[in-house]
Chain A
């Protein structure tokens, strides 16, 4: 682990989902004593259930009307949530700090103009449809600035413009693992003294048919009847997408203490890999073993980013069983049951929940009613957060209460 001064501290959190906005609202609904019913929209995108975004007043974080006009919904959501994290860390409006804040954003793409797509398909999508008709529609009907609301790196670009984050701006792509790598690279850079202050996170808008298409073209989504994570296996498994955004401010202990920032938790370890997806239980166990020197035996608070797709979810349950056989008492919580699968934002959202629990020293009540999630103890001074990509990649992190 890094020298003490280069420990990675989590000093700001922003979280928005179908459940609400802000850490406190999520804690009230998910924390010990809460009894959570997931928020599901079954009709609008039938046969796909989705977790719809809570209603937000974007102007609370994005005051410029022209800024709002030029952003797609995922960009507005991410810019909004990034602002929450910057506020929470006490960085907002502080030009000196903003000018040294390094940003790593995990992003897919923004909303396509589905009206233009539909008219393209109607006119030129027939087997006989010609390229000339397609060109005419594209040239005449696409809004010129629409491209900018779609470009992956323009979520980060908008965060720079709206909140003044200018230290650096990088955008990682690659679904769930992009969100993981954003945090992992920031943490490694802090440990390696390649930066002291980072804003990391992502945003995902599930309420889009173009996004449903991009994912279900691989038959990855649950259809028809909603079920919580561990109860989908009998229906063949599948993801239920959830609109969400999560951002975190990470900084070195040295930097946080020098400016008097109050930490939520320490990101003590973070490891990733890419297994062959045949034996990823073993790969994941190796990840866990890489962390286990730091982990106390006994009750283990475990926030799983399992996506619900059959094989990969079964493998993670097997890892949990393996850990239970090794003497841990795993308090498994699949946060996809309550937030949905939020793709690029998924791991950052899990990490926010983990940091929040660690800061309070208390864990969440089960997110699932099948019996897969047990109450072993309420202790959450150490929390494991996992995210295995629906498509590829596995990652695991440990957050700890700072005593």
Chain B
């Protein structure tokens, strides 16, 4: 095998040949990129359910078509299909309904939703039983079997595997807000160790539901700036007050460089490296010394075989919570030192909000678009700088820059830290 088909560790080089994207900013790569570089906010007042009495009434939602009326699980599935179809079409691989590789899917945990609970509860109106006893009696009627697949934790993955015809057992995973990056990492690992030549990696989330919103709200994780929704997500600003929930999906066709070249595919980018480090400090907070985040970044650079001087742009996790943005800055500072202030860094979440399970994937897709277009998207709503965070934040307006190597961060609840290094061809 010729040298360029292998990386400096002797592993097959993993390239991107197709990707797809859905976010509150639009459907498809083109619409999303146009809005992102324009600095458009995808955050708005929630209309799909009543927010009466809730502290947070805003989110990023994909409401066009039927999306608003689906359950969270069904929406996660629909979003994933949409992004996957775009990715597979661009890669021009396989045949319809037969994708020649396995599926790695970041998808939200499943729980029976309110509308379905209510349907079960009101199934037998003369039933005097209460609570779960009554729900279980309705379940035993056998009339709700169609809910079963949807609410299995592997249900979205299974349905996708059927529709897209992926090979083998699909892997569904959750590493909280790092899930999308973990799905990419699992695909890259499978290709590198020779299990497959091709993999489909997807991150999807449709969790803007009342219960999802309330749960994050009760943890004081969400912005409550309801009056100006488009201004609520303000990563790295002094007045940041929490993240804004959002949803969407991104899908990627990755393959060996060898396979892509052999079939004459256009190579859109290279997955140079992935790295992770688990934090054992607290369920929702990082170690005060940042060692787990630092470890994840360092492991990623090591895996990619890349020095700090080679990173042209950092796609931040940048959630707009007081804790994350401070810790992310301190961790990056520890790794990059004085060079950090010379690297443009921006948070897509300032525009799309926090797409949770999908975030790592969506932000990887935006990172590849950044490389393709040599334009760094902005961090919008940067009106009140935080003096403790000294970064070139690309405030409010996008910027032309030569970008051939990107670090993308994902840090999540439960000590989940995963980073990616993405690059232009050639590897």
Contact digits for A89-131, partner B, Cβ 8 Å, 1 yes 0 no: 0000000000000010001110010100110111011110111
Residue A44 CB within 8 A of the other chain: no
* Stretch touching chain A among B45-53, B249-257, B319-327, B393-401: B45-53
- Determine whether the beta carbon of B415 is less than 8 Å from that of A160: yes
With the chains together, A114 CA to B132 CA distance in Å?
A: 8
Partner of A161, one of B109, B117, B415: B415
Residue B136 CB within 8 A of the other chain: yes
Contact digits for B91-128, partner A, Cβ 8 Å, 1 yes 0 no: 00000000000000001011110100110111001000
Q: Which of B173, B194, B215 has the most CB of A within 10 A?
A: B173
Specify which chain B residues have a CB less than 8 angstroms from the CB of A114 in the assembled complex. Answer: 131-132
- Determine whether the beta carbon of A121 is less than 8 Å from that of B215: no
Residue A49 CB within 8 A of the other chain: no
Contact digits for A42-82, partner B, Cβ 8 Å, 1 yes 0 no: 00000000000000000000000000001000000000000
CB-contacts of A257-287 with B (<8 A): 272-274
Residue A371 CB within 8 A of the other chain: no
A159: min CB distance to chain B, Å: 9
With the chains together, A152 CA to B111 CA distance in Å?
A: 11
With the chains together, A70 CA to B148 CA distance in Å?
A: 29
Q: Which of B51, B139, B217 has the most CB of A within 10 A?
A: B139
- Determine whether the beta carbon of B186 is less than 8 Å from that of A185: yes
- Determine whether the beta carbon of B215 is less than 8 Å from that of A165: no
With the chains together, A108 CA to B107 CA distance in Å?
A: 12
- Determine whether the beta carbon of B168 is less than 8 Å from that of A274: yes
- Determine whether the beta carbon of A175 is less than 8 Å from that of B152: yes
- B residues lining the A interface (CB < 8 Å): 49-55, 107, 109-112, 114, 117-118, 120-122, 125, 130-136, 139-140, 142, 144-145, 147-149, 151-155, 157-158, 161, 168-176, 182, 186, 189-190, 192-195, 210-211, 214-220, 276-284, 292, 412-416
With the chains together, A286 CA to B97 CA distance in Å?
A: 23
- Given known contacts A168-B277, A194-B189, A213-B132, is B54 in contact with A139 (CB within 8 Å)? yes
Partner of A70, one of B175, B210, B283, B412: B283
With the chains together, A161 CA to B276 CA distance in Å?
A: 16
Partner of A125, one of B109, B122, B140, B283: B122
- Given known contacts A117-B132, A219-B145, is B53 in contact with A132 (CB within 8 Å)? yes
B125: min CB distance to chain A, Å: 8
- Determine whether the beta carbon of A274 is less than 8 Å from that of B283: no
With the chains together, A139 CA to B120 CA distance in Å?
A: 23
- Determine whether the beta carbon of A209 is less than 8 Å from that of B172: no
- Determine whether the beta carbon of B278 is less than 8 Å from that of A168: yes
With the chains together, A165 CA to B412 CA distance in Å?
A: 16
- Determine whether the beta carbon of B136 is less than 8 Å from that of A212: yes
Contact digits for A162-175, partner B, Cβ 8 Å, 1 yes 0 no: 00111111111111
| 12 chain-A/chain-B pairs, Cβ below 8 angstroms | A121-B135, A131-B210, A135-B54, A139-B53, A147-B216, A151-B176, A157-B414, A173-B154, A173-B172, A174-B170, A217-B147, A219-B140
Specify which chain A residues have a CB less than 8 angstroms from the CB of B132 in the assembled complex. Answer: 114, 117-118, 209-210, 212-213
CB-contacts of A204-250 with B (<8 A): 209-210, 212-220, 223
- Determine whether the beta carbon of B131 is less than 8 Å from that of A178: no
Specify which chain B residues have a CB less than 8 angstroms from the CB of A209 in the assembled complex. Answer: 131-133, 135-136
- Determine whether the beta carbon of A392 is less than 8 Å from that of B154: yes
- Determine whether the beta carbon of A117 is less than 8 Å from that of B413: no
Residue A153 CB within 8 A of the other chain: yes
- Given known contacts A118-B132, A160-B278, A173-B109, is B149 in contact with A218 (CB within 8 Å)? yes
Chain B residue nearest in CB terms to A166 = B278
Specify which chain A residues have a CB less than 8 angstroms from the CB of B151 in the assembled complex. Answer: 214, 217
Chain A residue nearest in CB terms to B144 = A217
With the chains together, A168 CA to B109 CA distance in Å?
A: 20
With the chains together, A8 CA to B110 CA distance in Å?
A: 33
- Determine whether the beta carbon of A217 is less than 8 Å from that of B139: yes
- Determine whether the beta carbon of B148 is less than 8 Å from that of A392: no
Residue A142 CB within 8 A of the other chain: yes
Q: Which of A122, A135, A146 has the most CB of B within 10 A?
A: A135
- Given known contacts A135-B50, A391-B149, is B118 in contact with A129 (CB within 8 Å)? yes
Partner of A177, one of B50, B169, B182, B186: B169
Partner of B154, one of A143, A171, A212, A391: A391
B73: min CB distance to chain A, Å: 12
- Determine whether the beta carbon of B173 is less than 8 Å from that of A171: yes
- Determine whether the beta carbon of A174 is less than 8 Å from that of B283: no
Residue A144 CB within 8 A of the other chain: yes
With the chains together, A109 CA to B174 CA distance in Å?
A: 11
Specify which chain B residues have a CB less than 8 angstroms from the CB of A131 in the assembled complex. Answer: 49-50, 52, 210
Partner of B158, one of A112, A118, A132, A392: A392
Chain A residue nearest in CB terms to B154 = A174
A119: min CB distance to chain B, Å: 9
- Given known contacts A121-B121, A188-B195, is B148 in contact with A170 (CB within 8 Å)? no
Specify which chain A residues have a CB less than 8 angstroms from the CB of B218 in the assembled complex. Answer: 139, 142-144, 147
- Determine whether the beta carbon of B118 is less than 8 Å from that of A173: no
Which 7 residue pairs of A and B lie closest in terms of their CB atoms, listed nearest first? A174-B154, A218-B148, A192-B193, A157-B414, A118-B131, A131-B50, A169-B278
Residue A181 CB within 8 A of the other chain: yes
A177: min CB distance to chain B, Å: 6
A108: min CB distance to chain B, Å: 5
Residue A395 CB within 8 A of the other chain: yes
Partner of B52, one of A132, A191, A216: A132
Specify which chain B residues have a CB less than 8 angstroms from the CB of A134 in the assembled complex. Answer: 114, 210
Specify which chain B residues have a CB less than 8 angstroms from the CB of A375 in the assembled complex. Answer: none
- Determine whether the beta carbon of B292 is less than 8 Å from that of A166: yes
Specify which chain A residues have a CB less than 8 angstroms from the CB of B145 in the assembled complex. Answer: 217-219
Partner of A217, one of B148, B168, B176: B148
With the chains together, A272 CA to B277 CA distance in Å?
A: 28
Q: Which of A145, A164, A169, A189 has the most CB of B within 10 A?
A: A169
